[in-house]
A and B are shown apart, each in its own frame.
Chain A
Amino acid sequence: MATAINQTSTSEEILRRPPAILYRWLGDKIFSTVIVLLGSCIILLAVGMAWLLYTEGSMALEEFGFFGFLKGRTWDPAVLLEFGTWPFLFGTLVTSAAALMLSLFPAVAVAVFSAEYAPRWLAGIIDNLVQLIAAVPSVVIGIWGIFVLAPWLRDTIYMPVYFWTETNAPGMMPILGNPMGYGMTTATIVLALMIVPYTTALTKDAIKSVPAAQREAARALGATRWEVIRMAVLPYARSGIMAGAILSLGRAIGETMAVAMLIGNKNTLPFSIFGAGSTMPSVIVNEFREAVENLHVSSLLAIGFILFILALIINLIAAFITCKLSISGGQTV
């Protein structure tokens, strides 16, 4: 009882001290103002960037119409001054989607191995190596692709396939394209390699968040290691894995340097499997230095605006999937 009385008297004392209250009130105000300002900066930055890209690109969008610009197949900055982004949009979507499909299974497999099978020391090494791939600057991966991977792919895969097709299925030659080593397939393979770390990291997070009770329930039914993963772990983690894959797709769509170095940079359709192509980021990075015509600059910025929208849509889809499929509060929504 004595201590209780003491406590109340001291707390009353504190309450009665006016400067402290003023100080605390002021501190609170300052803190919340700073937080609100910083928080709104991010929003302003995002909105401002979108707005800037739109206004700067509006010249091209008005000249050709939004959908005209999207569907236009000609990109001619020299003679016709006609700009259409379809080849780049096509190149971006095809390389990114193919890279995602190529990387998804290995990425999930690495995550499952590191989370479920590998001993702790090995899992640590794997995780660090995977993170290392993500940390390598994309220009370094690009130069490795140019001097090591592309020639190797050309000699061991593209050329044999090309010669085989030449004798056995000449009709396929235009689809196959010129096997010079730099082109859609090489870019896709390097893209896949570059997004593996993201899918792996997000998948591993999702796997790690599966409650132990779920694994044990499967084990107690007499499930083997693989059956536990199939029955309890992967279904529970599916939303995380899907969201991870979609976010990796976002990375692939925006990846610039390595793709620009490896894709061959051909501005006109049709693209072929081995042959050169182009993506939206690669055309921006390749042409911004030489763009002197206002319409050319505006067209490049309009491509930036479309990329921005694409990224936004992908993030929204990822958020939607996380919401829709996630298992929370004992309810499957």
Chain B
Amino acid sequence: MKQNSEYLTANNLPRNFEITRDSIFTASGKNIRMETRNLTVKYGSKIGIQDISLPIENKKVTALIGPSGCGKTTFLRALNRMHDLTRIASVTGEVLLDNKNIYDPDVNPVIIRRKIGMVFQKPTPFPTMSIYDNVVAGLKLVGIRNKSLLNEVCERALTQAALFDEVKDRMKDPGMSLSGGQQQRLSIARALAVEPEVLLMDEPTSSLDPQATSRIEELIHTLKDQVTIVIITHNMQQAARVSDKTAFFYVGHVVEMGETKTLFTNPKEKRTEEYITGRFG
């Protein structure tokens, strides 16, 4: 299977290598929150992802799976315009949030990132800030100074992130004093405090132990009633446990996308089957 990944680059995919879609994922689907249309990201002349058209359903968890280096993170970062910060990255195609292309010139990326939160692979608390200040950092950016409101939101976000009970007596401690798993939940709380409409998670549990991982998975379960979540994971079981929809990425393309259950039990594409059964990747 090694040879496959060697000759199969995004530029010379075989002709019959087409995207399979479930029937519910038509562009006219009524419950679509975000949608990408022919989204292509290039780093210089190197193609990161090519021509990806993918719907993201409202208040559902969409998992992105696939081997390393095949564009999952590139895709995720295109969803809240994080590529704007990378000099060599260029984005073409459309990313629609509520039918508005977020790459339109009249859209302010700062506003987009306030609506579409992001949690990174490694916990990123601001090292000079206390736990409390970390959580309300995003609110202070919007200019909220009202103490009681900040306290209220801080408690809500920490409770959502299942961290409140552990830190309620030491809100003024530095964020760095927490353990790795707690720091990651703090990062999640910080992202949730600004009440994002969509939450992007890039392998949020990859640096955590099993116990912290399961807490975060529980958290995703409880959150999906309120937020639309897109999560990257390398862990097939995790994708199967937490997600409603799964998209399989391979060399910059989406090979297959569908209901998680269907995709894992009865994949349409051979490559998907090979990947989820662990024969490559």
| Contact surface of A with B, Cβ cutoff 8 Å | 120, 213-224, 227, 231-232, 235-236, 238, 327, 330-332
Contacts and interface: CB of A to CB of B under 8 A. Distances in A.
B181 interface: no
A227 B113 contact: no
B176 interface: yes
Interface stretch (B94-102, B119-127, B155-163, B267-275): B119-127
Interface in B140-183: 141-142, 174, 176-177, 183
B82 interface: yes
Interface of B: 80, 82, 85, 87, 110-111, 113-114, 117-118, 120, 122, 124, 126-129, 137-138, 141-142, 174, 176-177, 183, 187, 190-191, 194
Contacts of B122: 213
A219 B113 contact: yes
Nearest to A329: B176
Nearest to B114: A222
Contact of A332 (B111, B114, B124, B128): B128
A120 B111 CA distance: 27
A131 B209 CA distance: 48
A157 B110 CA distance: 44
B138 A236 contact: no
Q: Which 9 A-B pairs have the closest CB atoms?
A: A222-B114, A217-B124, A220-B118, A235-B128, A221-B138, A222-B113, A327-B127, A213-B124, A332-B174
A88 to B, nearest CB: 39
Contact of B82 (A216, A224, A331): A216
Nearest to B174: A332
A216 B114 contact: no
Residue of B126, B138, B142, B191 with most partner-chain A CB within 10 A? B126
A235 B126 contact: yes
Contacts of B80: 220
A238 B80 CA distance: 29
A120 B187 CA distance: 32
A53 to B, nearest CB: 41
Contact of B120 (A216, A232, A238, A330): A216
B128 to A, nearest CB: 4
B191 A327 contact: no
Contact of B126 (A216, A220, A224, A232): A232
B141 A227 contact: yes
A222 B111 contact: yes
Contact of B85 (A214, A215, A330): A215
